[in-house]
Structure 1
Amino acid sequence: MDLFFVSRARVQERPELYSGVGEEAVWRLDFRALPDRLPVIVDGQMRPVEPACGWFRHLAYLGRDPEDTLRHYAYIVLRLIEFLAERGRELGTAAESDLVAYRRSRTELQDVPVGGTAWDREASVINTLLDWMVGQGLRRASPLRAVGSTNPLASGMSRDMDIRHLSLGQYVFFRDVGLGGQTLDGEVDPAFRGWAPNRGRAASDLALMTGMRPQEWSTVLFPELAVGLRRPGEVVQFDLQECAKYRKHRIVFVPQDALTSVDRFLLIERPEMAEGLVRALERRHRELLVVSEIDYARGRLRGRWEGRDREFAWSAIPPRLRRVTVHEGPAGLEPLAVFIGHGSLMLTSSSWDRVRYQAWDRLTAVRDEERAPQLPLKRYRFHDLRHTFALRLLDFLMRRAAERERAVVRAGTATLAEHMAFNPLLIVSRRLGHASPATTYEYLRYLEDPMAYVDAVFAQWAASDGDSYADIALRAMNVEEAGHAAPR
């Protein structure tokens, strides 16, 4: 079996290969409202494999992102279908034992078994597919027998949120040395080449100071940051929705320091990147959203896309459309996205992963130097900057709320509305766009280091006459190794 992805541009770029068949194919894709990058699994005779393709189409109609969500789902379903085929089964005939065997092959038997977190995400996709099949009458019931709220595909692991945050020293180290190409002395590293240091610094500052998720800050457009319109020292805010998780609407505030960092990238590095894209964009003109007018007052833009004049609210433009949104610049067509690369309209998540992998390699190369801050065992993620934003904001608001509470107690007046309006957890929850304030409560455990309390409590327990028990044990072990062990 093979996995393909819908691409109108591929057909339109090579009319000599498809002739009238290509035009018919594009018409049918439009007629069925099938988006580009929709996954299609085919068998040896190039026939769509059902019900997988029907499920992908259903998810596309629900608005799931073909570039990220459906692509991820497609590889999971393809692996499962191929595993079942080896056992003479299909999705419609798979038994519980087949699915449990598949779980075991992924988590125990393959050369590099997947961990519990990765498997639970995969199991969730499989369960969703099976439930859809039942709802469509393609199966009488799911083959998995549920026990309580779980079924045999669950890993059984119980996990809290993986909240990882950076200290100020760690962040500056990550931004300036890892992403910015500096040495520990603050000088430019002559060995640093081709990684766009100002782009990495701007992206990290924007992520840290706004708390946006990677998909949110990496897809930001010029108009949203009022590029070329705002005056020095101004801050901006814009609506976020289509690029947000679960499309949950919220307002993003971008402080002056983050805008200054972005402006530096736009002035120094981005023009050269955009110049190298002009010819490629001219060739792809038909598949691009070419913006002709930007209405800052209403937060909307107008342009031509797929042969039609269209109008969009900025917040309603999904990531896949933002990647092909361009406008007419001084040298020709230019991407409207802020963060672009050499030969790329907008950096994808995998491209940003390569940036942070390279940054981590630079950090670990100097981690043993005295001036380098302590690094965690796990590689930094851009999402760690969102956690850092949340914890620093929560810590500040908690301290401010405590001061206000003392003032209210002295004055003897307070209302329920005031308590809710100034509640630190509710404020942070809104800024992060959490679906439930309960998620924000997870951050409370990270405001202070509990190990500091443990060290303080047992400081006197573990020492005797200036020597800890570990020191005494170490000397005893050295004596034994020298052959002078005391009789027992």
Structure 2
Amino acid sequence: MLIGPDGRSDARVQLFFRTGPMASARPLTWRRYAFALKVWLMFLDAVGTTWDAATVADMDAFKDWRLNDVRNLERVAPSTFDTDRAALNTFYTWASARYGVFNPIAPVARSGSMTTGEKRAGRDPGRPAGARRRQVKWVLRPAFEQWRDVGLRGYGFDGLRVQSWRGWNEDRDAAFVDGLYGTGLRLGEWASILDIEVPAGGVGRFPRTWLSAACVKGAKEGRKYFVPSTVLSTIAAYTDPLSGSRAESIARAQRAGRYEQVPGRRIVTGYNRRSRVLHVLDPSGSKPVSVDVLGPAERRLLFRKGENGLEPLSLWLSWDGMPRLAHSWEDTFAAANGRIQRAWSEAGGEGEAALWLRPHMCRHSFALKWFSILSLVWEPRIEGLSAEERKDLRDQIGDVWFQLATLLGHADPATTRDYYLEPFNSLQMDYLMSLLDGEETAAVDAMVTTMARAGGRTLAPITPGEASEVSQ
């Protein structure tokens, strides 16, 4: 609910979130759009106009204020403004169709080709020049482990534990980031899984499990994904009933009676792993409910009756025992990055530590690793084949991009190729393959290290004795 300075709410703005494509959007999408609208509406109120009377000049002034005005101490990066601007364009596109309101967001200019007559998109004049289409960065496995150990587990750059470290949620945080890096799931997807969806250990190195359709970004059906056995080990430590912090959080919540106070909670009496069906109590008895239809918000309402009271089915819990919201993990990453910077300075490092991590970088790194592995498998298959034979082979089993898109859950391999691994488009496959002639781990690291030198997109482990340079 967006409330104006006068204490009133515009019903037309509220209707935006209840109709059209936004009605079926995820809560995190609503939150993102609501914040973008809020900043815009506050700006318009400050300059004495309203959203339904805004002009292109108002949008230009808003852009300048958000990006350049030195009086604004909360200026943002071009990429952030570009995201907010896209949200506002969605709102005004809807409002113009429904209410005839003018859209002050400048449309993309289009120009015709003199030779073919085809239309091609020009640069949107309202889009900030510094906004990239995607900012893809990767992190090597050793650098990831260093980030995790220093930022989340209380180690210093000398490999020793900091004496003052308490680590209340260390096992939880380590298990979560290990899972992001090892599964390639998006932050919201990995944050939404239930403890009953964690695959049983002891079934190969990469046990397979299922991601609910209601938790997959922009998808109408669920998909399979793989969880490395090493990730299952860290989850097992976190969920251990005797030494894991999850059991401590649950006990803390039970003593405070928090679970009984959750409105709309649902009591689960059983689960069929094969059919992915829960049995949930209601006034008329136990009824089957498919986990595929349960989104993140509904999953936080699922509880079972344990020996000491109610227990949540959500895997990832806050210190107080309540299911953790996906966007709360952004704070965990920010705190870890800050802790690394402090440890870097205390160890004698100069400037900013060239070791940091954002949640989506784990997904990018997953894509890079599997691109390398799939390339190892694919290249021998096409060696010596004609162009037609290669096409037939791709039609039968798909190429590297198709297989990688399947691992990432992309509907179109072009999304994977254009957005996630765009820097590889300029390199020849034989050059990449020349780097992959050793053991798998060493080969993959050799290739991504070469890419790091070429484009500065990959983070490697650092030591305080080395010069610190932040990758751009």
TM range (shorter): 0.7 to 0.9
Provide the C-alpha distance between the structure 2 equivalents of 1:210 and 1:83, rounded to a whole number of angstroms.
Answer: 41
Aligned partner of 2:82: which letter? D
Q: Aligned pair in 2 of structure 1 residues 160, 48: CA closer, same or farther (>3 Å)?
A: closer
| SS in structure 2 at match of 1:276 | helix
- Does 1:295 find its partner at 2:272? yes
Q: Structure 2 residue aligned with 1:131, among 83, 90, 93?
A: 93
- How far the C-alpha of 1:380 sits from its partner, in A, is 0.9
Deviation of 1:422 after TM superposition, in Å, equals 5.1
The residue identity in structure 1 corresponding to 2:307 is P
**Corresponding position of 2:216:** 244
Which residue does the alignment assign to 1:48? 9
1:114 aligned to 2:76? Answer: yes
Partner amino acid, structure 2, of 1:445: P
Q: Which one of 399, 406, 426 corresponds to residue 423 of structure 1?
A: 399
The reply on whether 1:90 has 2:80 as its aligned counterpart is no
Residue 238 of structure 1 and its aligned partner are, at CA, apart by 0.9
One-letter identity of the residue aligned with 2:37: V
**Distance 1:197-1:420 versus aligned 2 partners, 3 A rule:** farther
Shift of 1:163: 1.5
Q: What pairs with 1:75-474 in structure 2 (closer than 5 Å)?
A: 75-109=35-69, 110-139=72-101, 141-146=102-107, 147-148=109-110, 153-157=126-130, 159-184=132-157, 186-226=159-199, 230=200, 232-233=202-203, 235-247=207-219, 249-267=222-240, 268-278=244-254, 279-304=256-281, 311-367=288-344, 377=354, 379-406=356-383, 416-417=392-393, 420-421=396-397, 423-442=399-418, 443=421, 445=423, 448=448, 449=450
1:207 to partner: Cα distance:
1.1
Measure how far apart 1:310 and its partner are.
5.9
The answer (yes or no) to whether the contact 2:169–2:319 under 8 Å persists in 1 is no
**8 Å CA contact retained: 1:398, 1:424:** yes
1:58 aligns with 2:28: no
Letter in 1 for 2:305: E
The residue identity in structure 2 corresponding to 1:198 is D
Identify unmatched segments of 5+ residues in structure 2: 111-120, 425-446, 456-472
The higher relative CO (CA closer than 8 Å, separation ≥ 6) is in 2
Does structure 2 retain, via aligned residues, the 8 Å contact 1:287–1:306? no
Alignment check: 8 A CA contact 1:92 1:138 kept: no
SS in 1 for 2:79: helix
Report deviation, 1:318.
Answer: 1.1
Compute the RMSD of aligned alpha carbons.
3.3
After superposition, the Cα gap between the structure-2 partners of 1:375 and 1:220, relative to the gap in structure 1 and judged at 3 Å, is farther
Please say if residues 77 and 126 of structure 1, whose CA atoms lie closer than 8 Å, have aligned partners that are also in contact: yes
Normalising by the residue count of structure 1, what TM-score does the alignment of the two structures yield? 0.74
Q: 2:166 aligns to what SS in structure 1?
A: coil
Could you tell me whether the CA contact under 8 Å between 2:79 and 2:131 is conserved in 1?
no
| Letter paired with 1:402 | E
CA distance in 2, matches of 1:166, 1:334: 36
State how far apart, in whole Å, the 2-side matches of 1:355 and 1:239 are: 24
- 1:146-188 Cα offsets, whole Å, 9 max, x none, are 3335655322445242121111220121222322223456554
**Equivalent residue in structure 2 for 1:74, among 34, 59, 62:** 34
Structure 1 residue 340: Cα displacement: 0.6
> 1:272: Cα distance to partner?
0.6
Distance 1:450 1:186, change over 3 A: closer
Cα drift, residue 368 of structure 1: 7.0
Matched-pair contact (CA < 8 Å) for 1:250–1:433: yes
SS at match of 1:380: coil
Q: Cα gap change, 1:114/1:338 in structure 2, threshold over 3 Å: closer, same or farther?
A: same
Q: Return the alpha-carbon distance in structure 1 between the equivalents of residues 282 and 86 of structure 2.
A: 36
CA distance in 2, matches of 1:103, 1:153: 8
Amino acid aligned to 2:336 = A
Alignment-mate amino acid for residue 119 of structure 1 = F
Alpha-carbon contact 2:2-2:38 (below 8 Å) kept: no
* Preserved contact between residue 138 and residue 364 of structure 2 (Cα < 8 Å): yes
Q: Secondary structure at the match of 2:90?
A: helix
Cα distance in 2, alignment partners of residues 413 and 115 from structure 1: 48
- Cα 1:217–1:194 change in 2 (3 A) is same
Instruction: Tell me, in whole angstroms, the C-alpha distance in 2 between the residues paired with 1:415 and 1:198.
Output: 47
Q: Secondary structure at the match of 2:192?
A: coil
In the alignment, the residues of structure 2 paired with residue 415 and residue 285 of structure 1 have an alpha-carbon distance, to the nearest angstrom, of 56
SS at match of 1:286: coil
In structure 2, the CA distance between the partners of 1:433 and 1:343, relative to structure 1 (3 Å rule), is same
Structure number with larger C-alpha Rg = 1
Q: Which amino acid aligns with 1:381?
A: R
